[in-house]
Structure 1
Amino acid sequence: MEPEGATRALVMSDVAARAGVSHQTVSRVINGHRNVAPQTRERVERAIRELGYRPNPAARALVTGSTRTIGFVTVTINQYGPAQTLVGLEQAARNAGYSLSVTVLDEATAEAMREAVDRFVGQSVDAVVALATYDDAAEALHLIDVPLPLVTVQSGGAVEEPAVGVDQVTGARLATRHLLDLGHRTVHHVTGPADSQEARDRIAGWRAELCASGAPVPPYLRGDWTPSSGYAAGKELAARVRAGEEVTAVFLANDQMALGLLAAFHEEGLDAPRDVSVVGFDDLPEAPYFTPPLTTVRQDFAELGRRGVRLVLARLRGEELHLDPVPPTLLVRGSTGPVPARALPAGV
């Protein structure tokens, strides 16, 4: 006998009684079985809402063999792209009825990756999603035996596991083509880190578009995704302008470096786009409020998350699913314009 005033925990039979269905029907609705009539499903879901019933995850896992949890492992989360990839995956997982368990590694060694996957296995996650944009992370994934479905995101095709990502090469080509179409003879480039597959894909797209147009391919400047590296690149390019070198357009591998470059240009008396046109990559929320507003390439991280979760669910069903890369979008704002008059040939 329960003590007076005690509140009994709700159980599945309470939902069944409220909805006028069997205990087994409630179980099928909660566990996502398809062979439930739409009207019956609605009655059960309404009863769950009215009662405020919360299924017991442990009991549910014992019945279904699934915790409805996806493990997510990444090496870094301090840049906009990885952070938004995580947000997109979490939203898509939640919409599919899954939760996301996150592990952020200090380093992408095989041992660290193996330990992360082992922890996920111990937590009985249903699948693992790995953010593998850096070479060491991708290589580490090759060295571990994953006993459950593994999907990589933003790997640039560098690993053999099922993967989904944004088409980085096309994004870089869009940025470069935009600047060439404005009349610039060539486009300088500030890259991301050498060990980043995304950075190398953007270099490949930039170079491919210049070559396809017969434009000169200048040496690129190495950055590291941070505003400070963009600032250093801006100082170097400003010095080249002062020395008489033709620098009229710059494509940077992310918006944070573009912010640093614009600050350096301002200090050096260069104006964008009057003197040098500037394009970034990612479309930071702050990009429209840069001075000037930044032309950039937008990555659809929400769609990336949806496709990543679709790939996970297909793998859980034992299906082979190959998804095309997510297409990027060029957003033209105030940081780009026609080639400055000083750079035009005489008589033009």
Structure 2
Amino acid sequence: MNVHIEGEGAVTTGEERTRTASIRDVARVADVSYQTVSRVLNGHPSIRPETKQRVLDAMAELRYRPNQAARALVTSRSRTLGVILGSRGEYGPTSSLAAVEDAARRRGYWVNSAYLSDTRPETIRAAVEHLRRQSVEGIIVHAPQVRVFDVLAELDVDIPFLGLHTAERGVAELAEDQLRGARLATEHLIGLGHVEILHVAGPQDWIEAESRMRGYLHAISDADLPTRPPILGDWTADFGYRAALELSHRLDFTAVFAANDAMALGLLHGFRDVGLDLPGQMSVVGFDDIPLARHGWPPLTTVHQHFAQLGERAIDALLAALESDAGALRDAAGPAAPPGDLTPELVVRASTAPPAPRRR
């Protein structure tokens, strides 16, 4: 079906008053039928490249802009996607959202987001309804708390949705391999010769924190090293700093793997303030590779995440579900998700070194 969309622009001929350019004006300037212009606007594959270029040149000359509201009414396509955010301010969620928005824009979509101030069922339900009222065609869920997915599983979400975390709760898994990244960090410390390694974890109920903790515990178990109960943090540098001050009273360990870079940088600050030689007396590894990581003192060894690739693949999978008229992405997660590996990479800097020889 041809969709005729009127648009915005200005056409001025001689002394004629200025008026909004229409699809017929574009057709006249391009010397094609208005049906051809409509096919160009709707990406019809039958249009020859030279004809398409003439139409695009005419649109540019007339400053013609398709009316997206009218297009949505006729085609039921808003060209808008939704994102549900379970946190903001931290580097990971901010970078992921930016990557999703950039990838969507390159494919001709806009993104509306809804931030969850808490994870009560009514708050999550309200976020979904808000995005539905914006006529979004699909939803990306960047909410790392387990209970968010529990609530979403109970809702009747009648458009495709995609989770960015390894939740194993009926959502497509396009997440970074958090567990593998944590293993890389811990195995790096083990490879340097550390046997007493502490883990400062993220908050309880966060999928990323749980996966990174499991990666640490698996690496420690595989190396047959002493297992220590992880310290539950809150992702902030302030927590890392306070933890370093408290931990400095016992110092029965020689290395720390922190679940994110902010806490790791706080640990470095705190250990320096109590007079430890870094990394001579204490090695620290973070996770995320935030821009400030390379400027810590000493520069922070960390796990780099491919946020841009994650955004690209999330949009690819969601749009694949839309094009296949999937009722829900979880029903088509396998074929919709593109192949490839997003395994994080270890970035070794100066915050890690072999442990100092034990005094006899």
Same fold (TM over 0.5): yes
Distance change >3 Å, CA 295–CA 6, structure 1 → 2: farther
Q: Structure 1 CA distance, aligned partners of 2:292 and 2:183?
A: 23
- Say how many residue pairs are matched: 338
Q: For residue 333 of structure 1, what is the aligned residue in structure 2?
A: 349
Distance change >3 Å, CA 12–CA 183, structure 1 → 2: same
Q: Structure 1 CA distance, aligned partners of 2:57 and 2:162?
A: 35
1:142 maps onto 2:153 in alignment: yes
Q: Normalised by the size of structure 1, how large is the TM-score?
A: 0.91
**CA deviation vs aligned residue, 1:143-164 (integer Å, no higher than 9, x gap):** 21112111111x2224202342
**CA deviation vs aligned residue, 1:61-98 (integer Å, no higher than 9, x gap):** 12321010001111221211111111010001001110
Q: Structure 1 CA distance, aligned partners of 2:291 and 2:317?
A: 28
Q: For residue 298 of structure 1, what is the aligned residue in structure 2?
A: 304
Q: Structure 1 CA distance, aligned partners of 2:43 and 2:202?
A: 43
Contact between 2:87 and 2:143, CA under 8 Å: does it hold in 1?
Answer: no
Contact between 1:133 and 1:156, CA under 8 Å: does it hold in 2?
Answer: no
Contact between 1:158 and 1:197, CA under 8 Å: does it hold in 2?
Answer: no
Contact between 1:186 and 1:210, CA under 8 Å: does it hold in 2?
Answer: no
1:287 maps onto 2:310 in alignment: no
Distance change >3 Å, CA 275–CA 48, structure 1 → 2: farther
Contact between 1:190 and 1:221, CA under 8 Å: does it hold in 2?
Answer: yes
Distance change >3 Å, CA 234–CA 65, structure 1 → 2: same
Q: Structure 1 CA distance, aligned partners of 2:43 and 2:183?
A: 43
**Could you list the runs of 5+ residues in structure 1 that have no partner in the other structure?**
none
Q: For residue 223 of structure 2, what is the aligned residue in structure 1?
A: 213
Contact between 2:279 and 2:353, CA under 8 Å: does it hold in 1?
Answer: yes
Q: How much identity, in percent, do the aligned residues show?
A: 43
Q: For residue 141 of structure 2, what is the aligned residue in structure 1?
A: 130
**CA deviation vs aligned residue, 1:150-190 (integer Å, no higher than 9, x gap):** 1111x222420234211100100111111111111242110
Distance change >3 Å, CA 215–CA 101, structure 1 → 2: same
SS of equivalent to 2:249:
helix
Match of 2:191 among 181, 184, 187: 181
Give matches, 1:218-233, under 5 Å: 218-233=228-243
Q: C-alpha displacement at 1:273, in angstroms? A: 1.0
Q: Normalised by the size of structure 2, how large is the TM-score?
A: 0.88
Q: For residue 201 of structure 1, what is the aligned residue in structure 2?
A: 211
Contact between 2:113 and 2:131, CA under 8 Å: does it hold in 1?
Answer: no
Q: C-alpha displacement at 1:220, in angstroms? A: 1.3
Q: C-alpha displacement at 1:28, in angstroms? A: 2.3
Q: C-alpha displacement at 1:5, in angstroms? A: 7.2
Q: Structure 2 CA distance, aligned partners of 1:163 and 1:28?
A: 36
SS of equivalent to 2:278:
coil
Contact between 1:31 and 1:64, CA under 8 Å: does it hold in 2?
Answer: no
**Could you list the runs of 5+ residues in structure 2 that have no partner in the other structure?**
1-11, 327-331
Contact between 2:114 and 2:130, CA under 8 Å: does it hold in 1?
Answer: no
Q: For residue 238 of structure 1, what is the aligned residue in structure 2?
A: 248
Distance change >3 Å, CA 60–CA 273, structure 1 → 2: same
Give 2:355's aligned amino acid.
Answer: V
Q: Structure 1 CA distance, aligned partners of 2:277 and 2:21?
A: 66
Q: For residue 322 of structure 1, what is the aligned residue in structure 2?
A: 337
Contact between 2:87 and 2:116, CA under 8 Å: does it hold in 1?
Answer: yes
Q: Structure 2 CA distance, aligned partners of 1:214 and 1:33?
A: 61
Q: C-alpha displacement at 1:272, in angstroms? A: 1.9
Q: C-alpha displacement at 1:26, in angstroms? A: 2.1
Q: C-alpha displacement at 1:303, in angstroms? A: 0.7
**CA deviation vs aligned residue, 1:231-271 (integer Å, no higher than 9, x gap):** 12212221122xxx2x1111100001011111110111012
Distance change >3 Å, CA 268–CA 25, structure 1 → 2: same
Q: C-alpha displacement at 1:104, in angstroms? A: 0.9
Contact between 2:316 and 2:337, CA under 8 Å: does it hold in 1?
Answer: no
Q: For residue 277 of structure 2, what is the aligned residue in structure 1?
A: 271
> Which stretches of structure 1, 4 residues or longer, exceed 4 Å deviation after superposition?
none
